[in-house]
Structure 1
């Protein structure tokens, strides 16, 4: 049985945060432009969200991503990401959500090491860029992320066109392989009506989604 299921609500702006907290949000991921998979929110949105949530003792994570599309970032984009990360840290963010890949679908180790260095002292989630890593390499990717000190991996367990139910077997394999070394955070199709079932089947106590608490 899952106790104290942590519900991370993915949200584009400040507007719905007060209502989400009333409904039981345990953590937020600030993630603008969800239609393209999420990009970094404005400094103003981040500052107000952090200030409000700190008073309520609710942690806030922020995606650090300069654009939609793939997760292969050039030097200029990485500079933008590093600047956004530094600013988020100054504002008092609890953690950041990021992910960088190489052209062949492996973790961009150099880029990640650069960003992780800037993120020292923050929680770090490797986002759904993980799902673009070939499945046979995802277990090795878990090992790399554990060694790098990343706290959790946000993953759908498969391609976006697959239902979360269809992805549960692979998600369970990831959870079992992680074996408590890193948090596997299921997302993508996780909502108010299925989150407890998914958490129970996977043996996790954190879930992520835009509809975890219903429509806001």
Structure 2
């Protein structure tokens, strides 16, 4: 597309948010970044990729909260310089997100991207949710979870981790609709029609 657009996707586990993001990127013919951010962050920092994978979207509560916020903003808060490894890894990924946004249009999944890029005029921030039963079935089918009960437990655990990560580094509620341009329940229209809806919204917003 001619006009620069940065699409960020926050998603509940099992909502199809990653698949939706990939299909949006394919439809708009722009780059897509999810786990790719980990590879790029590892390459830029010199840290092993396994370290980013192990700590992906996780919080170390032993560290000072204000220090973490300072590094999300791009610089440490005066007098607070001792940051945890999780905070350092988060800051590296935040820098990669900013660099990608500077290069041109793209879709970025997770990792507080909507907050990191909140002042970018080309930003379109999305939150993808879904009906609980649909999310559980998707976790079972897509991630080969043994049972519905295991899928539900994994879903709850993952959403809690993602929510804690977002809340910690933004001082905002992950599921608060006011922090997104559009919140969509993927169960209503299904994946493909949700993609169409979002693309139409992007065209209208642009």
Output the TM-score relative to the length of structure 2.
Answer: 0.32
Higher RCO (CA-CA < 8 Å; seq separation 6+): 2
Output the TM-score relative to the length of structure 1.
Answer: 0.31
Based on CA coordinates, which of the two structures has the bigger radius of gyration? Answer: 2
Structure with the higher strand share, 1 or 2: 1
Structure with the higher helix share, 1 or 2: 2
